Structure 1
Amino acid sequence: MKQENIKILFERYLTGKTTQQEEKILMDYLADDANEDSEFHAVMENAWKKQAEKTDYSTEANQGLAKIWDKIEAQQKRSSWLSPILKYAAAIAVIISATLGWYTYQKAQKPARNAITLLTKMTLKGEKVKLVLPDSSVVYLSAGSKLVWPSHFIKGSLRNIKLEGEAFFEVKRDPSSPFIVHSGTMQTQVLGTSFNIYAYPKDHTFSVAVRTGKVKVSANSKGKLKQLSLLTPGMKLLYHLKEQNYSVGTAGIADVNAWVKNSFVFKDATLPNILLSLERYYNVNIELKSNKLSQCRFNATFSNKSINHVMEEIHIMSGKHIQYKIDTVTKKITVWGEECQ
């Protein structure tokens, strides 16, 4: 076939207008080493350069490219990435992928993308940090917590991270890449929103509270993922690990991430749970001496208070029935009493 006809056929192929017979003619031409015509291949070289910046490594991209390669390799059993003919065939695959609705693919000579590695951040008692994830989502990690996330996210794929402890999330919206936080058997999935997760394994109760957007909470039971609830701003889900049941209530919008600004809010919380949280927040050890105080419940907010002031307020709220002693040297607090008010 004349060079001019091949060029026309090539242009039609790029726009997806070739018939099966015309496509076979072009593939036969590319597979024949005798057709290394510099003028014609200059056209493909130019097309190659125009696509250099368009790269996608998704499954769809690989499948689209595989379809083209199968057609080329059917004509030529001897395959070599160093062959100029196959280099330009790859260029065609890139352009056709974009034209026919597939994703573009990077040229063969470009190094493979960096492998995804997992990054981990752990906080000590009394410590909290602000982290920015690869997708620009922001995480405020509370004391005594652990966060694990990938070094980069893949567009169009799930953004999976793992949390043990407490964190407040401000998730960058991306409808094509749902953001999922794994906490024990629980999964919290969003597209773009802000919410708080409390998931310390030793506490036996996890919670998810929403400040903005919409959040789907699920739990894995016996290998099956079951949706528990869909939460909107001002809603809070409590999940009891031992009983494997949950309840949904309300939460003040401003209270959802109050701890980020050193304000600690407790709603109908038992004294042991309050003391456990205070241990993490203030990096102290608290020993509760009386079992009778375990059933005491409080509604309280402590904003920018020292641990001394917090313990004194608990003492007053109990009608002075709860006693305490602070050892500043060992950072140990002993709590005792007979009853609550």
Structure 2
Amino acid sequence: MKQDYIKILFEQYLEGKTNQEEEKILLDYLADPANGDSEFHAVMDKAWKKQNHQADYTPEANQGLNQIWNKIEERKPKSRSLYPILKYAAAIVVVISAAFGWYAYKKAQEPIQAAIAFLSKTTQKGEKVKLILPDSSIVYLGAGSKLTWPSHFVKGKLRNIRLEGEAFFEVKHDTSSPFIVHSGQMQTRVLGTSFNIYAYPKDGTFSVAVRTGKVKVSENREGKLKQLSLLTPGMKLLYHLKAHDYTVRNERITEVNAWIKNSFAFKDVALPNMFKSLERYYNVHFELKTNKFDHCRFNATFTNKSIGNIMEEIRVMSGKKMKYKIDTANKTITVWGEGCQ
């Protein structure tokens, strides 16, 4: 009868229903060398399962419970000197009981986290927009680009956004919340600075150029992050998608975000790639009738010029060997000729 009473008392203790006097009876019983502890496993297990609405059932928690059972089994009495062992078992009971209460308290205190919505903006060819992010950072989004960002940033957490295309960033300084731009396999991390990212997947080369501050550029391949370079003002990193390699060169500060003011700078750029950029900037389509221009590379800057004026300048740079025709109605430019001089 006493043992049945103790089992009931034990279960009530785990449920937090015992008073001080009952707890003393229970712990005195557990500390008595004449009593074992294994018979209470079923009661312990039952009490644990009753907490399924508030207990932590992660693998770590289950592993911890199993370790407790194992320790009790390992210390099963082999002699009459049982007092310290049973004292240990009683302590385990107190710990587990306290844990049940802690799980309930922890769950009750957890705030309900609303799912963070993500916003995105996609620009068309010939379009560029200015965006203000939730942290007051400013983004100038280039033509034919897409930016994705969370509806709000959490203080002390990473400010992660995603870019496909080109954008110039003026990042609000916050040392506790690094600002990270993900663009394909390239990752750019800053605290507060201004920089330009060019990341059109079809172009084969991504770039990061810094106007102010410092940025860290890394490569993310199959979930493994590898730092490529730290860039300071006037430095530009070019990352080649197929080869997975990169180069770093100097860039004029004034050219980093020149496209915002309709000034387009090309430095040692192949003519077909130049045409790809001009397609986006001017919302036109190029039709190349020959591949003789594939290896033609140019250095050029065009500021506030019409596409007609730009094409004429390129024709002159080619030694007048390139020929073109502009179809204004269809926004198409046909190019042919003998290649470069």
TM-score, normalization: structure 2? Answer: 0.68
- Which residue does the alignment assign to 2:49? none
Decide whether aligned partners of structure 1 residues 223 and 298 sit closer, same or farther in structure 2, where only a CA change above 3 A counts.
same
Shift of 1:340: 1.0
Change (3 A) 1:79 1:335: closer
The residue that corresponds to 2:37 in the other structure is none
1:237 is aligned to 237
Q: How do 1:322-337 and structure 2 match up within 5 A?
A: 322-337=322-337
2:225 aligned with 1:225: yes
Deviation at 1:174, TM superposition (A): 0.3
Find the residue that maps to 1:291 and give its secondary structure.
coil
- 2:183 matched residue in structure 1: 183
Determine the structure 1 residue equivalent to 2:12. Answer: none
Deviation at 1:74, TM superposition (A): 4.0
Aligned partner of 2:264 in structure 1 is: 264
User: Tell me, what secondary structure is at the counterpart of 1:294?
Assistant: coil
313-322 vs 111-120, greater mean Cα deviation: 111-120
Q: Identity over the aligned pairs, expressed in percent?
A: 70
Q: 1:297 to 1:175 in 2, by over 3 A?
A: same
Partner of 2:282: 282
| Residues 1:250 and 1:330: Cα distance change in structure 2 (over 3 Å) | same
Distance 1:188 1:77 in 2: 45
Give unmatched runs, 5+ long, in structure 2: 1-15, 21-94
- 1:222 CA drift (Å): 3.7
- Write the distance in 2 (CA, Å) between the matches of 1:142 and 1:77: 55
Instruction: Measure how far apart 1:256 and its partner are.
Output: 0.2
Instruction: Tell me the amino acid that sits aligned with residue 115 of structure 1.
Output: A
Q: Which runs of 4+ in 1 moved over 3 A?
A: 73-80, 110-114
Q: Which moved more, 1:230-239 or 1:283-292?
A: 283-292
Distance in 1 (alpha carbons) for counterparts of 2:207 and 2:299: 17
Give the letter aligned to residue 205 of structure 2.
Answer: T
**Deviation of 1:76 (Å):** 9.9
Deviations 1:93-137 (A, max 9, x none): xxxxxxxxxxxxxx97x9845431110100000000000000000
What per-residue deviation string (whole Å, max 9, x for no partner) do you get for residues 59-92 of structure 1? xxxxxxxxxxxx9x94995999xxxxx9xxx9xx
Describe how 1:1-341 pairs up with structure 2 within 5 A: 74=98, 112=112, 114-341=114-341
Q: Kindly tell me: are residues 234 and 75 of structure 1, through their superposed partners in 2, closer, same or farther at Cα, counting changes over 3 Å? A: closer
Separation in 1, partners of 2:237, 2:102: 61
Q: Secondary structure at the match of 2:260?
A: helix
Which amino acid in the other structure matches residue 155 of structure 1? K
One-letter amino acid of the counterpart of residue 132, structure 1: I
Shift of 1:175: 0.5
From the superposition, tell whether residues 128 and 340 of structure 1 become closer, same or farther in structure 2 (CA, over 3 Å).
same
Letter in 2 for 1:263: S
| CA distance in 2 between partners of 1:170 and 1:194 (Å) | 4
Q: CA deviation at 1:290?
A: 1.4
SS in 2 for 1:295: coil
Moved more, 232-241 or 286-295: 286-295
Unpaired runs of at least 5, structure 1: 1-27, 33-70, 81-85, 91-106
Distance across 1 between alignment mates of 2:287 and 2:213: 39
CA–CA separation in structure 2 for the residues paired with 1:326 and 1:130: 30
Q: What is the CA–CA distance in structure 2 between the aligned matches of 1:304 and 1:281, rounded to whole Å? A: 11
Q: Which amino acid aligns with 1:135?
A: D
Residue 220 of structure 1 and its aligned partner are, at CA, apart by 1.4
- State the secondary structure of the residue aligned to 2:333: strand
For 2:102 and 2:264, how far apart are their aligned partners in 1?
69
Q: How many residues align?
A: 249
